[in-house]
Structure 1
Amino acid sequence: MVKINALSEIDVLLLTASYGGGHIHAAQELETAFATFYPKLRVETMDFMAQILGPWLDKQIQLTYISLVKYAPSIYRDFYYLTDNSSISPWWQRRINRLGFTHMGRYLRNNPPQIVVSLFSVPAGVVSELKERELHNIPLATVITDHVAHNQWVHPYTDLYLVPSPPVKEELIERGTSQDRVEVTGIPIDPAFGQQWNKRALRHKLGLKEDLFTVLVLGGAFGNWGGMRRICTRLATFPLPIQVVIITGKDFKMKEKLSPIADEACCPMYIQGFVDDMPAWMGTADILISKAGGITVSEAMASELPLLIYRPIPGQEEANVRYLVSEGAATAADDITQLIDKLEQIIRHPAKLAEMRQRAKRIAYADSAHVTAKLLYERFLT
């Protein structure tokens, strides 16, 4: 991460935030792509919310967001759609742009990059307004990390939008953005997710049964013990032959709590904590049970891995669900009974699963990080 008080020469400044993890991961993959294909460029990544607003305020905003999503999702949904309203959004956006306005302006004066790339909506608005007030004239590109063009991503002084799918491009054009300022690149992800695996060999390598239908559950995505307990308990008594891999990420307490359920399960159930080879684990699976964060669904599509989405976060994840379901690459469940029923139907109809896999392949952007870096380089850095 860049040090905000240091004077330095930067070619590309990536602005991101650690909300849900996806924005940070997208920035990391884009920085890696620049380093791989354009090693002479000086690229810096800044966590805007933590480094410009400060760690205390960043933490309070994160806690508020997490609390709303967990305990008052209907309130978060209303807030999300209210701030997307064309009559409310400008008023709200001006107030959001006050967050870090002065500090960001000072940083850009002291360390002017050749281009600013925002992978989070808040800094995109701040940098756009700074440009509107003629406090800098640096090109601004915005990487939208969900399949929706919410008003908080859309700003008049953005020079280029890099979007995850054609419907988002169409939505931006409908909102008044000129077509030449929007490019469909996909969300930057690790290109390893596009690798073609021999499933049987990969399962053997990772200690799984080679010939069982494999269900991958991203436990860390659900963020609460109760939801994961219900999922694992029902999968532990699933009526068809399967094996289940549950990845809890950095939630080590959840891993410990799930272990007794796995020990008593009627099917092989493997509980993994944090893994650094997620492309391989997705490569072992026949279906993924998860929420619908932009990065996760992009990684699944690149892996040609159909999704069974469980209780998505209101707002942006609901938009991701609508897109994936409309493209035939995913299905969604609102409760645990519906999730188990849909999983059983998918397993009993392998032709449907194969079709979902082909639909996922059709909308995948496995090389998205490289494509994004190349486009930015050719348009702004040559």
Structure 2
Amino acid sequence: MIMPELTEQASSEESLPETGMIGASDLFPVSTTANEESDRPLVIALYSSVGSGHRSAAASTAEAFARLRGNHPLVPEDADIELLDILDFGYMKFDGEKTTTLFTGPTRYIYDITWHYVLTGRLLWGGGSIWSYFMYSAFTRYVAKRKPIAIVSTHIVAANAAVAARMITKLDFPVVCVPTDYGVEGLWPHRFSDLFCVADELMKEELYPRKVKPEDIKVTGIPVKPSFNQEYDRTAVLEKYGLPVDKKIVLVIAGARLRQPYVLFRELMDEIIEDLAAFDDMHFVFLTGSDEEYADQVRKHCSDCGVPNVSVYNYVEKIAELMNAADLAIAKSGGLAVTECLCSRLPLIIVGRSFGQEDANTTTVTRAGAAYQVLTSPELLEKLREIQKDPAMLDRMIEGGAELRKPDSARNVALATLEKVGNTAPIKNRFFWLYWGKKPLRTR
């Protein structure tokens, strides 16, 4: 059954209208543009558009702050909540899509080495105002004008720019770092951040040797929208998408906002599309994100080869309900994809070798028993046959993910951030600061 592109009107929960506002509803608006003219209290959720996960985590966090408007003494009813891309403030404009080729293209092996070994041993990065002078002085000027309540950053570039802005302006607001993976790379501004919100307990142990104080680390989980933890009527959801209710639904997460991170994953999946017809008790749903060309390619491939148990959708706005109704996901090991599967209680098969931060993600979920990893297309087919013979494997994966599952993560981050307001120590303006840490947790 080859389904046409889903044409349902975009929901207000996930969409980005031309108004520059997003939110769960009109009650929780979040601005996606910097408003220099406003004098209202401001919270900034700051990301870098390198890959899709950093933006998704920042958007979930921004929405959590928006839900606190008028319900928390530090977030008044008229507060501005802004979701901003730090790359928009740079002297030079970087294409986030092209930048992702560093960890998906031929240089991914070099990237893997740098992620694991650069400033992750004894010599560590503390932070510095160099990030503002070198590239992001426009953001520093914006911070000086708006005087935010807090800045929450989901990417190293965003976090370092926020720390630099605070150093130069000498304003008193917390800078909160939210790694969107299950490992902490070396370029976070460790000594000048006020709080690290991390995915699990092991990441706390990773930060201790870097001399981050225990009180400045909270295990909140990676921020996702609360919709991923809601209960849905499975039959109603599957009927809405035209999917069979009497088969196991397997989501193939082959795209998001950007195309480049999924190139290698798609190559592997393309090798076995014809073989999926043999799994007559499963129905495969390819999610191709904003890449309509790839969606059409998969549809044509299935049509030409007579594969009846595949549906293809482009960008699905209410992805949480579809993940909740599904029985299994096949994906690469991005931090947000892994976390959304965990919160949706959706078993996961990770496909392909993992590099850099995705290696940390894979290790975490496979060690917990929440996912399996396969490196090749024959291995993927074999794993699907194992699940076909022993469906209880799916239940065991759900149980394995229980300890990692933190469905209130975005709210946890927002509340932990607000606890730091008024409780930050002044920091000196250092151009850059390298320092000596203790023996690292992970042997690199």
Query: Equivalent residue of 2:211, what SS?
Result: coil
Q: Tell me how far apart the structure 2 counterparts of residues 284 and 32 of structure 1 sit (CA, whole Å).
A: 24
Per the alignment, residue 194 of structure 1 pairs with 229
Q: Tell me how far apart the structure 1 counterparts of residues 400 and 268 of structure 2 sit (CA, whole Å).
A: 29
Q: Is the 8 A contact 2:39 2:146 kept in 1?
A: yes
Which stretch has the larger CA shift, 149-158 or 124-133?
A: 124-133
Per the alignment, residue 262 of structure 1 pairs with 302
Q: Is the 8 A contact 2:351 2:373 kept in 1?
A: yes
Per the alignment, residue 152 of structure 1 pairs with 187
Aligned AA (2:114): F
Does residue 1:328 correspond to 2:359, yes or no?
A: no
Matches within 5 A, 1:234-273: 234-236=275-277, 238-239=278-279, 241-263=281-303, 264-273=305-314
Q: String of CA shifts for 1:100-127, please: whole Å, max 9, x gaps.
A: 3433332222221121211111121233
Query: Equivalent residue of 2:262, what SS?
Result: coil
Per the alignment, residue 33 of structure 2 pairs with 2
TM-score, reference length from structure 2 = 0.78
Q: Is the 8 A contact 2:131 2:164 kept in 1?
A: no
Query: Equivalent residue of 1:58, what SS?
Result: coil
Which stretch has the larger CA shift, 322-331 or 28-37?
A: 28-37
Q: Tell me how far apart the structure 2 counterparts of residues 168 and 22 of structure 1 sit (CA, whole Å).
A: 18
Q: Tell me how far apart the structure 1 counterparts of residues 345 and 47 of structure 2 sit (CA, whole Å).
A: 27
Does residue 1:53 correspond to 2:90, yes or no?
A: yes
Matches within 5 A, 1:112-261: 112-131=147-166, 135-220=170-255, 223-224=262-263, 226-236=267-277, 238-239=278-279, 241-261=281-301
Does residue 1:311 correspond to 2:342, yes or no?
A: no
Q: Tell me how far apart the structure 1 counterparts of residues 162 and 328 of structure 2 sit (CA, whole Å).
A: 40
Aligned AA (1:217): V
Give the direction of change, closer, same or farther, for the CA distance of 1:365–1:334 in structure 2 (3 Å limit). same
Q: What is the total number of aligned residue pairs between the two structures?
A: 378
Residue 4 of structure 1: how far off its partner (Å): 6.8
Query: Equivalent residue of 1:210, what SS?
Result: coil
Per the alignment, residue 11 of structure 2 pairs with none
Q: Tell me how far apart the structure 1 counterparts of residues 105 and 238 of structure 2 sit (CA, whole Å).
A: 34
Q: String of CA shifts for 1:350-379, please: whole Å, max 9, x gaps.
A: 222211012223321112112222222344
Does residue 1:280 correspond to 2:328, yes or no?
A: no
Aligned AA (1:260): K
Q: String of CA shifts for 1:238-281, please: whole Å, max 9, x gaps.
A: 35521111111110000111112333344411011111110121
Give the direction of change, closer, same or farther, for the CA distance of 1:70–1:269 in structure 2 (3 Å limit). same
Per the alignment, residue 428 of structure 2 pairs with none
Does 1 or 2 have the higher relative contact order (CA < 8 Å, sep 6+)? 2
Which stretch has the larger CA shift, 98-107 or 183-192?
A: 98-107
Q: String of CA shifts for 1:72-99, please: whole Å, max 9, x gaps.
A: 3212212322324436654998876654
Q: Tell me how far apart the structure 2 counterparts of residues 175 and 88 of structure 1 sit (CA, whole Å).
A: 9
Which stretch has the larger CA shift, 121-130 or 252-261?
A: 121-130
Query: Equivalent residue of 1:63, what SS?
Result: helix
Query: Equivalent residue of 2:372, what SS?
Result: strand
Per the alignment, residue 3 of structure 2 pairs with none
Q: Tell me how far apart the structure 2 counterparts of residues 291 and 150 of structure 1 sit (CA, whole Å).
A: 19
Which stretch has the larger CA shift, 150-159 or 220-229?
A: 220-229
The match for 2:69 among 34, 38, 45 is: 38
Per the alignment, residue 380 of structure 1 pairs with 421
Q: Tell me how far apart the structure 2 counterparts of residues 8 and 24 of structure 1 sit (CA, whole Å).
A: 25
Higher relative helix content: 1
Q: Tell me how far apart the structure 2 counterparts of residues 276 and 135 of structure 1 sit (CA, whole Å).
A: 41
Q: String of CA shifts for 1:286-316, please: whole Å, max 9, x gaps.
A: 1100111111111110110011011255101
Which stretch has the larger CA shift, 353-362 or 193-202?
A: 193-202
TM-score, reference length from structure 1 = 0.90
Q: Is the 8 A contact 2:42 2:81 kept in 1?
A: yes
Q: Is the 8 A contact 2:190 2:210 kept in 1?
A: no
Q: Is the 8 A contact 1:185 1:365 kept in 2?
A: yes
Q: Is the 8 A contact 2:125 2:188 kept in 1?
A: no
Residue segments in structure 1 that go unaligned for 5+ positions in a row? none
Q: Tell me how far apart the structure 1 counterparts of residues 352 and 63 of structure 2 sit (CA, whole Å).
A: 32
Q: Is the 8 A contact 1:217 1:246 kept in 2?
A: yes
Matches within 5 A, 1:295-374: 295-311=336-352, 313-374=354-415
Residue segments in structure 2 that go unaligned for 5+ positions in a row? 1-31, 71-76, 424-444
Aligned AA (2:369): G
Q: Tell me how far apart the structure 2 counterparts of residues 89 and 97 of structure 1 sit (CA, whole Å).
A: 20
Per the alignment, residue 26 of structure 1 pairs with 57
Residue identity (%): 26
Query: Equivalent residue of 1:100, what SS?
Result: helix
Q: Is the 8 A contact 2:120 2:185 kept in 1?
A: no
